[in-house]
Amino acid sequence: MDGVIALYKERGMTSHDCISRLRKILHTSKIGHTGTLDPNVDGVLPVCIGQATKISEILMGSGKVYQGEITLGVAYDTEDLDGKIIAQQPVETPLTDQEIDRALAQLTGDIMQTPPMYSAVKVNGHKLYEYARRGETIHRDPRQIHISRFNQIKPAIYNPTAQQQTIFFEVACSKGTYVRTLAVDFGKLLNLPAVMSSLTRIQSGGFQLSQCVTLKQVADAVADHNLGSVMRSLSEALAGYPGYQMDDSRWQIILHGGFLDPSISKNRDPIIRMDFEGTTRALYQFDAKRHVYRPYKMFLNKN
């Protein structure tokens, strides 16, 4: 049982809850997700099973895309609606689309971001949220992240009664980005408190929201002895890499962890996918110093 399930994580569940449920449904312990989603966030959660757990880091590093809302005029200690209000300031005059777009543009490219206190980042052996729950604030070093795009997807809505404004955005970002912190930083650029008021992950690990299945669909597929209808093979999950069909001689080289001549890839692709008998058996990485392709990830056992 080797492959990837593009799971739709519902709101109200932790990523760990999803893995626990899948362990029981699939009757396997060799399983892991590719990037935690907060309980109040829904969307794409790629889950690796069996030998596919070896590609978790690859899927995590492929970048993510989210759609959500930022509400201006109020701030929470958790940077989302799960916490307590810590600041309020009326938005007396609605921001124009141009003002919003300018602020969003300032948060694109390579930027530095300080992890929020309510996060699982460890400092001195303890997770930041453990300090936060005790009312402590710990120094956090900023980290570099990359924001490919951060833009509005429909007109903002102004609430004259609450004197708050909600913007609707899409963001494409690198691994390690805290979107709720982006929301807070966006507000700071406008001198307004802000909170991430809704978030959905629409792409992760190369999978789109439209490709996702629910826990119930997975359970139904197992009951029908049709797991293949909801689980993507290693070949499908790694389809973004150039693939090469091996003959018997190259298969023997790979079985013994040998190097491959660079002529196998005319374009000298950094990573190539090696297939044998219709199944991905390995990823090989180009070694510029040795001028060879060397083993990167091996999936030698047959499904």
Catalytic residue ranges: 38
- Asked if residues 52 and 69 have their Cβ atoms less than 8 Å apart, the reply is no
Q: Two tokens at 69?
A: 């809302």
CA-based nearest residue to 200, from 9, 5, 6, 7: 9
3-state secondary structure 237-291: HCCCCCEEECCHHHHHHHHCCCCECHHHCCCCCCEEEEEECCEEEEEEEEECCCC
Q: Cα–Cα distances in Å, from 217 out to 6, 119, 152?
A: 11, 31, 33
Pairing of strands 194-204, 42-49: parallel
Which helix (H) or strand (E) segment holds residue 171: the answer is strand 164-173
Q: Which two tokens stand for residue 186?
A: 């966006």
Tokens standing for 241? 């890499």
H or E element at residue 236: helix 234-237
Residues in the chain: 303
